Amino acid sequence: MEQNYRILFKMGDSSFEIESNDLKWLESKEKDYFQKLLSEATKHRHKPQEESTESEETLPPPEMTLNEFYRKYVQKIKSRPSIAVFFVYYLQKMCKKDKIITADVMKCFKDILYPNWNKLNFTDILNSAKRRALVNYVHKLWSLTTTGEDYVLNSVTGKTK
């Protein structure tokens, strides 16, 4: 009497069933089907990563100069505290500067030739952004909050006006 061997396997929406009386053939087919299932699972796993790289293309490139950054993203903004938030973003995220002091933000205004930059009260400007929870001031250093980062990125990607 011949013995039949049967394998039934299900993974997610995919499944396979193999039946034979030849055990070696059955095992070889089982390996083939496992490899096919794993390659399909790997294809599906990589799709969300590809989508996330598309959204990263809309972010400012890290090699962008301050003047390019200002002309492309900041020039349309009229509020000085909002402009200061963009400069803190530029210094922290694009220049990878750890310690941002008020003079660094003042230098950004100077570098873009903002009108009457030397007569502005930068502590007041940054404190106004701090009251809106866009920047933090800890140990005499300015840093971007999560809300501030979202504000800049939403403006840059065009999700808000």
| 148 and 107 in a common domain | yes
Residue 61 lies in a domain: no
Q: What pLDDT does 50 receive?
A: 46
Query: 33, 56, 79 — which closes off a domain?
Result: 56
pLDDT per 10-residue tile (average), the chain, 161 residues? 76 74 83 77 55 51 85 91 95 92 95 92 95 94 93 83 51
DSSP letters along 7-24, please?
Answer: EEEEETTEEEEEEES-HH
Q: Which domain holds residue 24?
A: 5-56
| Nearest C-alpha neighbor of 15 from the set 30, 28, 25, 26 | 30
Three-state DSSP class for residue 159: coil
Three-state DSSP class for residue 138: strand
